[in-house]
Chains A and B, each alone.
Chain A
Amino acid sequence: MSLLSVENLDVFYGDFRAVRGAHLELAAGQTIAIIGANGAGKSTLLNAIVGLSGRKSGSIRFDGRDIGREPTDRIARAGITMVPEGRRLFGSLTVEDNLLVGLAAERPGPWTLEAVYALFPRLGELSKMTAGSLSGGQQQMVSIGRALMTNPRVLLCDEISLGLAPKIIGDIYRCFETITASGVSVVLIEQNVVQACAAADYVYCMLEGHMSLEGRPEDLSQAQITAAYFGTGEALP
């Protein structure tokens, strides 16, 4: 049985249906990626899962339980958290305080301050700096670290490579081996198709609010992905 399962999900911004009948399945220990162009509904889908979106209908089940109406903090305490798009750090707090906020989920586990500093040694050196004064890559590490401090079962990552240098992106993605090895299941949102296919066991492509393509990365051709990504021609597998 899948750990997180979304079926027939619609999400609305006012009258606009940003997500239309979307679905996804995440098995325990798996890493999946959702790719798609700007405005395809990827972030909206992720926000809907953690209860940060507007009106929605459909089913979101976590560990067999319907979480569609749960408030965001309860979902976090149940074990789903996110690394939001644009990092969204607590800008006035130090790096260490940002990480400590993750304790609010009250989920003990392998991810402690020491474990996060072991994963991102640079953060240990910067622990007393204010989060707002860090570089983009460092901020992304804080954002991931803060999410890990909640010891999530499911980690939703919204465009962690956005605006970062390729070398930094590589460094950050390498850390996901350690993260998944600790038992965390991961959902990645990416515009970078190559990065997504390299990191994920299973890939969904979103187009205009629904899933236009899905499959294991090795089973998908470049042409199929291009068609599903941009909505050109036949996109069915």
Chain B
Amino acid sequence: MTPFTTSHPRLVAALAVLTTAALVLAPFFVREANLRLMIEIFTVFTFAQSWNFLAGYVGLMSFGQQLFIGLGAYFVFFVSNTLGLSPFLLLPFSFVFCAGFAALAAPFVFRLRDAYFAISIWVIAEVVRLFISQRDWLGSVSGLPLVATRGMDRSFVATTNFYFAAALVLISVFGLYALSMSRLGLALSAVRDNEGTAAAVGINVWWTRFFGFVLGCGIAGMAGATYYMSVFHVEPGGAFDPNWMVVMMFIVIIGGVGTIEGPIIGTAIYFLLRGWLAGTGNLYLMLLGAAAVVVMLVAPKGIWGVVRTRFGIDLFGTRRRSPVAQKFHQGVR
């Protein structure tokens, strides 16, 4: 029996350096239009990864992650327009704003469990959407433009946004890896697997979960702000659209929940399908849905789950199900 190598910290560190270098250099070689597509891909990936973090690492299934996408965007647009501040300066604070919002909501939504918890955040998202839609000072249904970017050089805006989106990708891949390797990550996994036992060995379940929730929501918020800054306009119907949730779930489920690699694969598949099926109109959503159903039936652990079981590759693999455990779990069910 060969014990499993559960992680390759050096390989991951090397990968982090290479990825960072590639991302830093990208704007010098990539055309502006492609840069914008990459911003979209990176931010959508970060949305998905934030939901994957909550569902797969913290054990909190939310159906309302679009709440933080919208909140992050509105925070930057509104404050920038009102105070005349640079949106790029405000962007990191969209994390603080959304994390703070999540922290205030947590004492209430944590009283609910499972499906009730999932729905409760969706309800908050709808309430916030309706609130904004009825306030003229927030642009009501037609939304807000980003005034500060009007005089700016478009390619400067695209490049700066790109770097923020790239930073989000690095955080949601290598930051998540570092977190999962830490003692806090261990506590998160323990709480997700069995909260009673986690408490019985001294873990404060509530605060551990609170930390995970706040972090996951803050990252989604910052990604939301970055996404909407690159399109220069935000309106409530789009920013708080439950369709964001569908996209996130599609990406995570198809790639593999509770893994770092899964959403990377899922995001690639989502954008490829979107490109191929762009001309098919409404059929596009049905095909997307069919793809998700097929993956769920054939590979319940997602595509990365299959790759890992079949080839024994586990790049970031730590503190998650190894191939043997996976077979074991499938065997008993």
Contacts and interface: CB of A to CB of B under 8 A. Distances in A.
Nearest to B328: A133
Interface string B185-215: 0110110111011111111110000000000
B189 A97 contact: yes
Considering residues A88, A90, A94, A97, which has the most beta carbons from chain B within 10 angstroms of its beta carbon? Answer: A90
Contacts of A103: 183
B325 A97 contact: no
A106 B321 CA distance: 27
A81 B196 CA distance: 11
Contacts of A50: 200
Contact of B3 (A71, A77, A128, A131): A128
Contacts of A102: 201-202
Nearest to B5: A128
A218 to B, nearest CB: 33
A133 B322 contact: yes
Contact of B200 (A84, A93, A133): A84
Interface residues of B, number: 31
A102 B186 CA distance: 10
Contact of A130 (B196, B201, B324): B324
A82 B186 CA distance: 19
A133 B331 CA distance: 11
Contacts of A73: 199, 202-205
Contacts of A84: 196-197, 200
A147 B4 CA distance: 24
A221 B205 CA distance: 45
Given A52-B196, A126-B3, A132-B328, A146 B201 contact: yes
B319 interface: yes
A106 B183 CA distance: 12
Interface string B1-28: 0011110000000000000000000000
Contacts of B329: 91, 132
Nearest to A50: B200
Nearest to A130: B325
A168 B199 CA distance: 28
Contacts of A92: 189, 192-193, 258, 319-321, 325
A82 B200 contact: yes
A93 B4 contact: no
A103 B186 CA distance: 10
Interface residues of A, number: 40
A161 interface: no
Interface in A12-58: 50-52
Nearest to A75: B200
Contacts of B189: 90, 92-93, 97
B199 A71 contact: yes
B190 A101 contact: yes
A213 interface: no
Considering residues A128, A130, A146, which has the most beta carbons from chain B within 10 angstroms of its beta carbon? Answer: A130
A131 B329 CA distance: 11
A52 B321 CA distance: 27
Considering residues A94, A104, A105, which has the most beta carbons from chain B within 10 angstroms of its beta carbon? Answer: A104
Contacts of B193: 89-93
A206 interface: no
Contacts of A149: 201
A101 B328 contact: no
A129 B4 CA distance: 6
A169 interface: no
A144 to B, nearest CB: 12
A191 B260 CA distance: 44
13 contacts: A76-B199, A81-B200, A90-B190, A92-B192, A93-B189, A94-B6, A100-B183, A100-B186, A104-B202, A129-B322, A132-B325, A146-B201, A147-B201
Query: What are the 7 tightest A-B residue pairs by CB atom distance, in nearest-first order?
Result: A105-B202, A130-B325, A72-B199, A76-B202, A90-B193, A128-B3, A104-B202
Interface of B: 3-6, 183, 186-187, 189-190, 192-194, 196-205, 258, 319-322, 324-325, 328-329
Interface of A: 50-52, 71-73, 76-77, 81-82, 84, 88-94, 97, 100-107, 125-133, 146-147, 149-150
